[in-house]
Amino acid sequence: MGKKKTIIFTDSGDTIIDESTQLYNNKGIVLKADFIPGADRVLKTLYDEGYRIALVADGEWDSFQNVYRENGLGHCFEEWIVSEVVGVQKPERLMFETALEKMGLKEDDKANIVMIGNNLKKDIVGANRFGIKSVWLSWSPRYFHKIENDEQRPDHIAETPEDILEIIHKIEENR
Ligand SMILES: [Mg+2]
């Protein structure tokens, strides 16, 4: 399938993998983790359909490398923007600026970018401030579930990974 116009930035923990299943080594690096049910199929489907996908995640470089090497879906990410490397965490603008730059995108491309994440105060606030679309995955019971202000208000809400697929397809069709 041909390239899609929509570009995906996605978080990892509790967006693709289930944080409650993370296994750590004695240095606090994640060694492996299970997918949120259905998230592996959704990630692989979006990749196979031709969407460009960047990982935009807070944590250690080695943790993400370990998890996605072990689960076999690391190839779905064109770029890995990891807070340990960037030096700041979401919602800091630099995380999103770095993703834009590493993906070879410009200010004008922002209208086509969608950030997917589970954390209202990191993923959604970061995306909204940066001026890209935001999709909140509410699947995880962890972190905050109360939208306290406009900056935390996602453009779309997904309850399951399958909902994300549907939302991305609608965004792509409606442009
Ligand atoms: Mg997360």
The encoded tokens of residue 87 equal 């030096």
The CATH number assigned to the domain holding 152 equals 3.40.50.1000
48 falls within a domain: yes
36 falls within a domain: yes
51 falls within a domain: yes
Distance 12 CA to ligand 1 centre (A): 6
Distance 15 CA to ligand 1 centre (A): 6
Q: Report mean pLDDT in 10-residue bins for the chain, 175 residues.
A: 88 97 96 97 98 98 98 98 98 98 98 98 98 97 91 98 98 90
2 falls within a domain: no
pLDDT value of residue 144 = 85
Tally the domains of the chain.
Answer: 1
8 A C-beta contact, residue 119 and residue 145: no
The encoded tokens of residue 86 equal 């960037």
18 falls within a domain: yes
Distance 119 CA to ligand 1 centre (A): 6
45 falls within a domain: yes
The pTM score is 0.97
pLDDT value of residue 120 = 97
1 falls within a domain: no
Rounded Cα–Cα distance for residues 143 and 124 (Å):
13
